[in-house]
Structure 1
Amino acid sequence: MKQINIGGVPEHFNLAWYLGLKNGEYKEEGINLRWKDYFGGTGAMCKGLRNGDIDMAVILTEGIVKDIIAGNKSKIVQIFVETPLIWGIHVAAKSSYQTINDLKGTKAAISRYGSGSHLMAYINAENNGWDIKKDLVFEVIKNLDGAVEGLTEGKADYFMWEKFTTKPLVDNGTFRRVGNCPSAWPCFVIAVREEFLKTNKEDVKTILNIVNSTTAEFKDIPSIDRMIANRYEQEIEDVQEWLSLTEWSQENISKQTIKKVQDELFALNIIPEKWEYKDLVFDL
């Protein structure tokens, strides 16, 4: 049986992978798919792909586009979640900051440089008319636990992370959310190392077919809202809202979307140049 390593964030978006693994669907096809949770998010997964620790990743679109252009020899093979990610903008519960504009020029906690929390801080700054060079200051905090410590102890002033993942921390009085910042494109894609793709194309297709059959019917799974609420320690009302806002995809990313992502990243000086579609995306 062939072992294939895949990484993703330990969040509700990726429950479809867990269900397929639990049901033994990959093993039935001769694939020992090993899932690795990346609490550090996109930056940590990019490193995992570069090092060969994982063969595939379920990763933020803007993060992998940036890292491929920066030398990560991987390709996008499919959109996983079609809808945008809603980034909550959080401060410590006792912080004096009340609005997004209060945060201009203060210190943003980011999991690491090149991560989603880093890139979206630029997009939030642009959305609010801030000076990118003067009004953005960063503090690396590694992950969500690091953000709790960093904001509570005053090492950083605000932190951007997926709204529903951080909602329990808002509910329990650790964070206060001062606003939201949705991404302007499908949030998660599936990326595969080029070297692995060359010799394992059929296995990648098989893996995608299995997860796609789960995501196509995900919302129809009996008591899926309760399952998510229990597994990810969320309120059922929040899960139901999240399900109503989220759509999965079984298609590859379009040329138009790749152009949109690159145009935005280039305008913010996050990438030094724009690449051709074929250099970022592989059609299976």
Structure 2
Amino acid sequence: MPEATVGEYMVRNVHTVSPDMTVEQVRQEIINSNFHGFPIVEKGYLLGFVTAKELLRHIDKPDAKIRTVMKRGTLCAIPSMSVDDATRILFRYGLRNLPVVDEDKKLVGIISNIDIVRSQIEKSRPGKVMSVKNFLEQQNGVRMKVVNKDIPIDQIIPTQKEVYMDELVGRQYELKRGLNEPLIVVERRSGYLLVDGHHRIMAAKKLGLREFKAIVLIPNDLDTKFGLEKTAERWGLHTLDDVAIIEGSKHPFMEATTMLLPSEEANGLNQRLMDSVNGEDVGN
């Protein structure tokens, strides 16, 4: 089952403001609308995002052009980004809206918390689990039952060779804020074969957690060797310690999200999340 994308749920008719409008003009736009802020657009290109809170900082300069007081650059999404990834950005950085740009960095839409809620209501996680279950049954000639339970992290067998450090930091932050999506695993005699959730579980391991919620697929024959299992063995993946962590390179969805920000600000986002993660305790 394909993942829902930002392009499917974003609003395409976006209310924008020009960088040549004054602080007072934009203030009136916000007062007379149902929005807390607007994308700043010039000739179709997204330059930034102005909020009511930011306008308050310049309330003593009503005639100043937005261009002269605006914070340049903004977090953004692209139409092909999954709704799950857009949700993570909104959640991590406390945003209400995320502008959407095309490959030329022109504004094509906006996705908000309301759109995310709508997508989650429509999204069927059981459908995803059943899709995985049906595929594995057909590929491996077994029947499987589904149970939900906490599983020991040290018994998880990975099937992905590498994860991104920047995304691990983001997932740690999410876990500390209570966003705890279950893994999808297949029960084996020697542990649990991980099908979905490598960044999630690696983040949990880094936080020192010992167990994690999982949707467990239990085959009627525990001795049948799955294709995923054979690939993991070929790659030398036996425990989570065998998964490589890529540093100095961004996860693809974070690369897209920060492409309009100055490099120093983009690099600072993860540091702020890391500071937050290191500054709080997580219970097991």
Higher relative contact order (CA 8 A, sep 6+): 1
Q: Which has the larger helix fraction? A: 1
TM superposition score normalised by structure 2: 0.23
TM normalised by structure 1 equals 0.23
Please tell me whether Structure 1 or Structure 2 has the larger radius of gyration of its CA atoms: 2
